[in-house]
Amino acid sequence: MLNIVGSSRYQINRKSLKSYFVYLFDKYNVDPAGVINLVFMGKRKMKAIALSYKKEDVALPVLAFPYNEQASNERLLGEIFICYPQAVLLAAHRNKKVEDVLKQLTEHGLKNIIG
């Protein structure tokens, strides 16, 4: 299951990302009862998180944190943080659609979570 958190100012196709996660869970044999929180944020917030956890003073495009604890009745596998402005820049640099870059970043984050 995928929970998407993000400001309405970010153009996110939630339906497309959720169906992509169903595909990824199957591709990587992830328990479909597992929960991933996908959080979209701006550069300042991502930079603060990167500085706090990775000691890097830069807005990274994606960060992922695996969890081993259970939250309520759901099994929280982890959280993926995506810097939306960085994803837009990457898309322009790679001459790709933003949605495609978001999918690449989420897959990268999921791979980091599941090992």
The residues that bridge with 65 in the sheet, in sequence order, are 79
pTM of the model: 0.90
Taking only the tens place, the pLDDT of each residue in 34-84 is 899 999 999 999 999 999 999 999 999 999 999 876 555 568 899 999 999
Q: Where are the beta strands (DSSP E) in 17-61?
A: 34-41
Taking only the tens place, the pLDDT of each residue in 2-21 is 899 988 888 899 999 999 99
- Structural domains in the chain? 2-114 (3.40.390.30)
Rounded to a whole number, what is the distance in angstroms from the first to the last CA of the chain? 18
**Element holding 62 (H helix, E strand):** strand 62-66
What's the angle, vertex CA 22, arms to CA 30 and CA 115, rounded to 5? Answer: 30
